[in-house]
């Protein structure tokens, strides 16, 4: 696709004999929010580093903004923003200085970064803390500052590696809100996450990665309809009772997943299935019917839960 | 997969980022500028290490201990403090380089991780190295000038040649600092390796590389050890310049040795930065 902001074909990253990314094909279109979903070690961060032009690829082809990272790294980096997994702010500078100093690296004038810093401080809701040192800020504030810093060059493409890991729910929602705004402004987002709610909230399209490969791709709704049933019935049993119940449940439905603490039953109608199970003398301690999520998709595709 | 996006919902005129790649020279300057932003708020902590130590040496060894030194073949008729002063430019420069090119550089990778942030910008690892060296150079110049003022105040200056001593001091600091930056870019975690450098390189070099007495006073078999130190070459240059005894030939040889150490350090540092920041 000629318009793709990021286009990877057979992309490979090796570290010695270990293959972190094992031949992936990805196209990210302008204006979309694209997600890499997968557990730790799936190759998401290695992929992001290659796209961010800070890690040369070991094989395959990669184009970012139509350019080759191996050749045009600085030119590409000038036009993208990167939010790394860990906040790497300069703790010995003030909040405002962090934005200004960083902006200068992008060839921006002092006057521009001064004005831009004020604007970004408002965006990140940090205006009150502008001239405070970074060190005492809360985790959520540091994250917002890191995102603000990545926007100093008005990037066309923003890469976010696990943007909300380690944040409390309120801070996460605040951050999601900011990311939605960016998307509305036309910024293309690439997000890695191992939270399916985050992927469902933020991503127009995503790929599921496992062991360095892409195992599935599509919109969240497509993935759920393709790889999971409409509903999931969760059954919890008294300690020790689960193994005895498994064969009875299996006899009644097409697909179940056994987790250490519960059984997931995949079904079009959870209440119906629950009634049928009662009739078959299956007596869970508690039961819950919910709609399917990307977590179920991931479980189906890899046989594992996302957050181990 | 076919393109199913409605053309109307596409961003018609994708906005263009405001960032642009900057040239290598400008990049190095920007790294220097960021150090300066930091320094403006933290300079007090660095005053003693960069100026205090050579001044203490000048006072204690030059004036104090020097008052007990009889004129011999060396210092050659001048007061000991005058003999000592020019050599304290390279000696002080080595101290400054040891401070600036070890823990602060390791921190850029391991603790503050500021290099990782810079690497995500258009600036390349190699340009960070140049920027750091530019920063060290400016620190060396400032420390050298401050020391010069103290030396003038205590009457330890014999003539204008001392200005060249200052320049040679800066060269010495860079010749020692560049390989240290390469080392700092290679060691892990806590920087324990630096203690070995301080103990087994900086301290012996400070004592035996010709600052306080000529290395001809050392046993013949030890002298070659002094020859491979940047401090000895710097001391020969600085003292020779101050007393007008430096020949063009030996100046070129000593400067050549310093340039060699600097270049080797620079190339190693660029390689180590590239490997550590972009793997």
Question: What's the confidence (pLDDT) of residue B10?
Answer: 40
ipTM: 0.86
> In this predicted structure, what is the pLDDT of residue B65?
85
Q: For B126-141, what is the mean pLDDT?
A: 96
| pLDDT-based confidence at residue B5 (cuts at 50, 70, 90) | very low
3-state helix, strand, coil in chain A (%, to 5): 40, 25, 35
> Does an H or E element contain A170, and which?
helix A169-184
Q: Which residues on B lie below 8 Å from A101 (Cβ)?
A: 33-34, 37
Of A246, A244, A243, A253, the closest CA to residue A275 belongs to: A253
Q: Please provide the average confidence, as pLDDT, over all residues in chain B.
A: 89
Q: Is A66 on the interface with B (CB under 8 A)?
A: no
Q: How many CB atoms lie within 10 A of CB A305?
A: 15
Give the DSSP letter of residue A94.
B
Residues of B within 8 A of A80 (CB-CB) are 17
Tens digits of residue pLDDT in B186-204: 998 788 899 999 999 999 9
Lowest mean pLDDT among A65-79, A291-305, B168-182: A291-305
| A88 vs B14, B21, B117: nearest CB | B117
Q: Do B278 and A56 touch (CB under 8 A)?
A: yes
Give CA–CA dist A210/A212, Å, rounded: 6
CB atoms within 10 A of CB A23: 16
- The candidate with the shortest Cα–Cα distance to B171, out of B227, B230, B127, B214, is B230
Burial class (CB in 10 A: 0-12, 13-18, 19+), B237: buried
Q: Would you state the pLDDT for residue A286?
A: 92
Residues of A whose CB is below 8 A from B8: none
Whether B19 sits inside 8 A of A156 (CB atoms) is no
pLDDT of residue A128: 95
Closest CB to A106 among B37, B121, B279: B121
Q: What is the pLDDT of residues A5-55, one digit of tens each?
A: 999 999 999 999 999 999 999 999 999 999 999 888 899 999 999 999 999
Q: Is A153 close to B41, i.e. CB distance below 8 A?
A: no
Residue A40 CB burial class (10 angstroms; 0-12, 13-18, ≥19) = exposed
- Testing the interface with A: which of B108, B113, B120, B131 to mutate, by most A Cβ within 10 A? B120
Residue B51, pLDDT score: 75
Structure confidence at residue A2 (pLDDT)? 59
Instruction: Give how far B94 is from chain A: nearest CA, Å.
Output: 26
Cα–Cα–Cα angle for B65, B69, B71, rounded to 5 degrees: 150
Query: Residue B6 — very low, low, confident or very high, per pLDDT cuts 50/70/90?
Result: very low
The Cα of B163 is separated from the nearest Cα of chain A by a number of Å equal to 34
Residue in chain A nearest B40 by alpha carbon: A93
Residues B150-172: what's their mean pLDDT? 94
- Specify the pairing of strand A205-210 against strand A33-37: parallel
B131 in the Ramachandran plot: left (φ > 0), alpha (ψ -120 to 50) or beta?
alpha
Q: CB of B261 within 8 A of CB of B175?
A: yes
Residues B103-136 as b/e (b if ≥16 CB within 10 A, e otherwise) read: bbbbebbbebbbbbbbbbbbbbbbbbbbbbbbbb
Average pLDDT over residues B160-180: 97
What is the percentage of chain A residues whose pLDDT exceeds 70?
98
Task: Please choose, from the candidates A163, A206, A204, A157, the residue with its C-alpha nearest in 3D space to the C-alpha of residue A185.
Answer: A157
* Percent over 90 (pLDDT), chain B: 65
- pTM reported for the whole predicted model: 0.88
Query: What confidence score (pLDDT) does residue A197 get?
Result: 83
Please give the pLDDT value at position B235.
96
Average pLDDT of the residues of chain A: 91
* A133 in B contact zone (CB under 8 Å): no
- Over residues B178-184, the mean pLDDT reads 97
Q: Residue B90: its pLDDT value, please?
A: 96
Contact B259, A37 (CB under 8 A): no
Question: How would residue B1 be classed by pLDDT, with cut points 50, 70 and 90?
Answer: very low
Asked if A84 reaches chain B (Cβ–Cβ under 8 Å), the answer is: yes
- Shortest CB distance from A30 goes to which of B11, B19, B120? B11
**Residues B139, B50 contacting (CB under 8 angstroms):** yes
User: What pLDDT does A305 receive?
Assistant: 64
- A94: pLDDT strictly greater than 80: yes
User: Which of A31, A55, A90 lies nearest to residue B279, judging by beta carbons?
Assistant: A55
pLDDT at B11: 39
> Does A156 contact chain B (CB < 8 Å)?
yes
| CB-CB under 8 Å, B112 with A90 | yes
pLDDT tens string B30-73: 999 999 998 888 887 777 777 788 888 888 888 888 888 876 66
Q: Tens digit of pLDDT for each residue in A144-182?
A: 999 999 999 999 999 999 888 888 888 888 888 889 888
CA B90 – CA B167 distance, rounded (Å): 9
With cut-offs at 50, 70 and 90, classify the pLDDT of residue B108: very high
B120-B277-A190-B10 Cα dihedral, nearest 10 degrees = 40
A306 vs B257, which has greater pLDDT?
A: B257
Q: What is the pLDDT of residue B202?
A: 93
Contact of A74 with chain B, judged by CB distance below 8 Å, is answered with yes
Sort out which chain A residues have CB atoms less than 8 A from B11's CB and list them.
30-31, 186
CA nearest A73 in B: which residue? B122
The mean pLDDT value for B226-238 works out to 95
Indicate whether B205 pLDDT > 70: yes
Q: Which tokens is A52 given?
A: 């961010």
Q: In chain A, what residues touch B279 (CB-CB under 8 Å)? A: 15, 55
Nearest to B118 among A75, A79, A105 (CB): A105
């Amino acid at each position: 696709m000629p318009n793709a902001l990021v286009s990877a074909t057979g992309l490979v990253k090796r570290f010695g004999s270990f293959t972190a990314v094992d031949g992936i094909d990805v196209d990210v279109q302008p204006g979309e929010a694209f997600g890499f979903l997968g557990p730790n070690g799936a190759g998401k961060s290695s992929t992001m580093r290659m796209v961010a032009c800070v890690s040369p690829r070991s094989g395959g082809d990669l184009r970012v903004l139509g350019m080759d990272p191996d050749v045009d790294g600085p030119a590409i980096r000038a036009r993208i923003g990167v939010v790394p997994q860990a906040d790497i702010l300069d703790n010995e500078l003030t909040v405002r200085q962090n934005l200004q100093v960083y902006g200068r690296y992008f060839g921006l004038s002092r006057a521009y970064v001064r004005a831009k810093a004020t604007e970004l401080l408002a965006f990140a809701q940090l205006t009150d803390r502008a001239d405070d040192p970074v060190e005492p800020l809360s985790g959520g504030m540091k994250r917002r500052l890191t995102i603000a810093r990545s926007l100093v060059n008005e990037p066309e493409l923003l890469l976010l590696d696990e943007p909300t890991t380690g944040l409390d729910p309120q801070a996460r929602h605040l951050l999601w809100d900011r990311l939605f705004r960016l998307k509305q402004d036309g910024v293309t987002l690439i997000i890695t996450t191992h939270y399916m709610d985050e992927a469902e909230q933020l991503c127009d399209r995503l790929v599921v990665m496992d062991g360095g490969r892409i195992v599935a791709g599509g919109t969240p709704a497509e993935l759920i309809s393709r790889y999971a049933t409409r509903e999931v019935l969760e059954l919890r049993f008294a300690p020790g009772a689960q193994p005895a119940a498994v064969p009875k449940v299996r006899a009644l439905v097409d697909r179940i997943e056994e987790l250490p603490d519960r059984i997931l039953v995949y079904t079009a109608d959870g209440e119906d299935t629950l009634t049928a199970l009662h009739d078959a003398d299956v007596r869970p301690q508690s039961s819950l019917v919910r709609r399917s999520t990307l977590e179920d998709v991931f479980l189906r595709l890899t046989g594992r839960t996302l957050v181990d | 997969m076919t393109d199913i996006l409605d053309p109307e919902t596409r961003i018609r005129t994708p906005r263009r980022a405001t960032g642009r790649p900057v040239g290598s020279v400008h990049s190095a300057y920007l790294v220097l500028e960021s150090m300066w932003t930091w320094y403006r708020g933290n300079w007090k902590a660095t005053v003693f290490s960069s100026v205090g130590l050579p001044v203490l040496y000048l006072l204690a060894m030059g004036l104090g201990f020097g008052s007990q030194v009889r004129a011999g073949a060396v210092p050659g008729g001048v007061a000991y403090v005058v003999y000592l002063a020019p050599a304290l430019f390279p000696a002080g420069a080595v101290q400054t380089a040891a401070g600036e090119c070890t823990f602060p550089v390791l921190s850029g990778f391991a603790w503050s991780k500021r290099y990782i942030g810079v690497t995500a910008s258009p600036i390349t690892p190699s340009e960070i190295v140049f920027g750091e060296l530019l920063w060290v150079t400016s620190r060396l110049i400032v420390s050298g000038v401050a020391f010069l003022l103290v030396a003038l105040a205590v009457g330890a200056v014999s003539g204008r040649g001392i200005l060249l001593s200052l320049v040679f001091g800066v060269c010495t600091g860079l010749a020692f600092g560049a390989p240290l930056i390469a080392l700092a870019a290679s060691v892990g975690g806590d920087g324990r390796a630096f203690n070995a450098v301080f103990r087994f390189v900086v301290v012996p070099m400070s004592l035996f590389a010709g600052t306080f007495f000529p290395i001809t006073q050392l046993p013949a078999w030890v002298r070659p050890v002094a020859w491979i130190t940047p401090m000895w070459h710097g001391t020969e240059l600085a003292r020779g310049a101050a007393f007008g005894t430096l020949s063009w030939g030996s100046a070129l040889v000593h400067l050549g040795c310093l340039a060699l150490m600097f270049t080797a350090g620079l190339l190693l540092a660029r390689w180590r930065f590239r490997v550590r920041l972009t793997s």
